[in-house]
Amino acid sequence: MKKTLLLNYGLLIILTVTTAFLSNYTSITNVAVNLILVASAFKFIIVAFQFMELKKANAFWKVSVIFVLFLIITPILLLINNS
């Protein structure tokens, strides 16, 4: 396996374990929820670009995936922080 593939697997495992530890706190705060959402966004980008081979795709698809992710994450973060 390539070195970048192993690095991506390791990073996905670290982000998943971090998300699991953050979600097991007794008092979930807005900061913990924000960190979980940001970690999930990073995991989505890693999976999309590495394993769906989006890094070899046209620039339109790269920008559109990141834009859609931004459109999904931003309102959620705004709703959580305003409540």
The pLDDT of residue 26: 60
Domain ranges of the chain: 3-82
Rounded CA-CA distance 78/83 in Å is: 9
Rounded CA-CA distance 69/23 in Å is: 21
pLDDT digits (tens, 9 = 90+) for 19-72: 999 888 767 788 888 899 999 999 999 999 988 888 889 999 999 999 999 999
pTM of the complete model: 0.84
